[in-house]
Amino acid sequence: MVKRNVESEALYREVARLLVDRGNCVALTGAGVSAESGIPTFRTQGGLWEKYDPMEFASIEAFRKDPSKYWSLRGEFIKDSDLYQPNNAHIALAELEQMGIVRCVITQNIDGLHKKAGSKNVIEIHGNLMEIYCLACGKEYKAPYVPEGMPPHCLCGGILKPNTVLFGEELPVDVFMKAKETSATCRIMLLVGTSAIVHPAASLPYLAKENRAKIIEINIEKAFPEADYSIMEKAGTALPKIVDEINKFSHE
């Protein structure tokens, strides 16, 4: 006989009801979401920054001095990128957008999996690893269709740079302003797979809360003490359960 966790079921139902009643939800996602797709994080044991000094290979200062250092490591960044697919968390967020509940996903991830899963309104505050642009003329390239060279150059002769925020580099002002505006005007914020401690993204849930939004945290461990609801579970498990609960309401 399977033992039912009544308290857990009640929490999922309450969160689902809140999403339906309030709507206007924004999701802020972090590395915990992509980890379920098999994407290794940079900072964990065995991660890329154990092998390479990020300030030497992936800082804006280092890039300006010698962009070939970054490009020599780029193969590690995009290794197996074609094999990574959206998981149940990405798909559930796209479904919540289709339902008219989630109006925007703000992500700290650079893998593009939210868009791949079908989410239309995505703010990638740290950029997208597969997007490349020319520092001279602004021409855009999409990996893997990037000119040869170390570092690669545009047809105009300008150096190519990834459309990602490197260490020591400011977030694009227009992108972060849009994230702030979206956070300040939502009625619910979902914190999904993020520690919510890396700035400036960490300021967004506080901004939402200051403007009376409810905060729902979904993470394997509690990271945001000010959350109104905390679901300690993997995002790929919790979000589909929430979608199921919402679907039940339409059949009542």
**135 domain residue, yes or no:** no
Residue 232's CATH number:
3.40.50.1220
Q: For residue 235, which of 35, 79, 33 has the smallest C-alpha distance?
A: 33
Q: Which entry of 126, 153, 199, 251 is annotated as an active-site residue?
A: 126
* CA angle, residues 25, 31, 77, in degrees to nearest 5: 130
User: What is residue 41's predicted lDDT score, i.e. its pLDDT?
Assistant: 65
Range of the domain at 111: 16-39+86-126+167-252
**59 domain residue, yes or no:** no
**91 domain residue, yes or no:** yes
Q: pLDDT tens for residues 158-172?
A: 999 999 999 888 888
- The number of distinct structural domains making up the chain is 1
**133 domain residue, yes or no:** no
Contacts of 118 (CB under 8 A, 6+ apart): 91, 94, 97, 98
**250 domain residue, yes or no:** yes
**218 domain residue, yes or no:** yes
With a pLDDT cut of 90, the percent of the chain lying above it is 59
User: What is residue 2's predicted lDDT score, i.e. its pLDDT?
Assistant: 35
**44 domain residue, yes or no:** no
Q: pLDDT tens for residues 170-183?
A: 888 999 999 999 99
**140 domain residue, yes or no:** no
Contacts of 16 (CB under 8 A, 6+ apart): 242, 245, 246, 248, 249
Q: pLDDT tens for residues 96-134?
A: 999 999 999 999 998 899 999 999 999 999 999 889 999
Q: pLDDT tens for residues 65-93?
A: 999 988 888 776 666 667 789 999 999 99
126 catalytic residue (yes or no): yes
